[in-house]
Chain A
Amino acid sequence: MITGRDEMHIRAMEYVKEGKEVPKDIEGSVLFHCGPIMVQRDNGTWAVVAAGPTTSARMNKLEPDFIRKFKIRAVIGKGGMSKETMDAMKEVGCVYLAATGGAAVSLAEGLRKCVGVEWLDLGMAEAMWRFDTDKFGPLVVAIDANGNSLYDKVNSSLVRP
């Protein structure tokens, strides 16, 4: 699993445009929209303190191309994503998994090991963290790979006075 938010997407797509090399872990990965709280141990490795999802909608602009380019298998976040993103998911075979917003300590338990970080110059929240995971969740398949969205279902049946 890799993490990526606003700045990571901007840099990745810029590098692709300029023909620059991007970290190989992005290809075929599970992308978690998250800016975790990390602490560095004395031996230089990193431990995660809290890691809940950030609002995925902010990544709507770049996500469709990002998914297509890197063949992302799943996007984990909160609040859902745009129709354009859902179209890219359908093409590539990618799902959107909703993690519970703010359940940062519980979710961190599923991040078994931080195996590295790229682009830390973007700051702790915006860097690309790399994790090995084990029982990460609970997750809800909120958007499937067939263009169905639980968010659309809920929003279209909202009762407004």
Chain B
Amino acid sequence: MIKLPEPVEDVVYNLLRLANTKLPEDIGWAMEAASGWEQNEIAYTQLGAIMDNVKKAEHIGVPMCQDTGIPVFYVKGKFDSSIGKDIAKAVERATKDIPLRPNTVDPITRENCGLNLGPGMPIIHYIPTDDDFTQITVLPKGAGSENMTRLAMLNPADGVEGIKKFIIDSVLDAGGRPCPPTIVGVGIGGTSDVCVSMAKEALLVPIDEENPDPVLRQMEEDIFVALNGSGLGPMGLGGSTTSLGVRIKKCACHTASLPVAVNIGCWATRRASAKITANGVEYSQGVKF
């Protein structure tokens, strides 16, 4: 939907509300389709409980999950350095208003920083380009899924089979803890930190959008089939709906390295994006590859 121009702080506030209260359509459809296939009785009730909850949350206008996460932002296109302040103000207002759960703490003392702010918060990735717009995307990332993040510096000789095995094992070892059925974000290449970043960025792309790289597309499908054939199921209680989608991003890496990272998105992989131009703001719940 396109709205008239509005201040950045208001746009970001809207993004936080949208992401936390409304499940992206691509995920909702995938869940409904999976529910039609699911033979396991417990799995079927888990999926039903999720979809019920999604409807209620959207109807009432409250966060669908109590873990409103760490708000992770991506700012792409044309912008100046003050945009970080607007984003922080929006996070503060959204926390008080929607409300969001105050999740940020000092890692050592565990003291709550309050209002989802604090040192290093909010997390903002800046991607300046020559484009004539500012695109702001938010991915509220909960800890259940985030705590299952895995990075492996594989041996180049491990190859595609080694990559797939690491990804599948990472997801199955996580069990029910990241709230399956999950969206599996994968990064391949880069330096180790870039690899993990790509894995999270991959979660921004809707699961019904085809990967433009045919090799990655095949890998996504192979991993998807393997995960849903594993028997782990929703909440790790058994069934055939373990993953709703696999998204892979890659970039170049060192000739002696093969970094592979897995960043899992829970079933509630919440995303919202706004493209701001001179004419107005266009909201959506996913970005292109």
Contact = CB atoms under 8 A, between A and B. Distances in A.
A103 B46 CA distance: 9
Contact of A101 (B99, B144, B169, B232): B144
A50 B64 contact: yes
A100 B235 contact: yes
Contact of A158 (B45, B232, B235): B232
A4 interface: no
A142 B237 contact: yes
A161 B176 contact: no
A104 B63 contact: yes
Contact of B237 (A106, A109, A154): A154
Interface residues of A, number: 43
B176 A158 contact: no
Given A35-B67, A154-B238, A103 B50 contact: yes
B237 A150 contact: yes
Contacts of B231: 154, 157-159
A150 B136 CA distance: 42
Interface string A85-125: 00000000000001011111111010000000000000111
B156 interface: no
B175 A80 contact: yes
A39 B177 CA distance: 27
A138 B49 contact: yes
A16 interface: no
B288 interface: no
Interface residues of B, number: 51
B52 interface: yes
A55 B110 contact: no
Contacts of B168: 160-161
A124 B102 contact: yes
B236 A79 contact: yes
Contacts of A125: 101-103
Contacts of A107: 53
Nearest to A52: B66
Contact of A50 (B65, B102, B233, B234): B65
Contact of B230 (A36, A150, A151, A159): A159
9 contacts: A37-B66, A37-B100, A50-B63, A55-B147, A105-B64, A106-B53, A123-B102, A124-B101, A154-B237
Given A101-B176, A102-B53, A124-B112, 10 more contacts: A51-B66, A54-B67, A55-B177, A100-B235, A102-B50, A102-B64, A102-B179, A104-B63, A125-B101, A154-B238
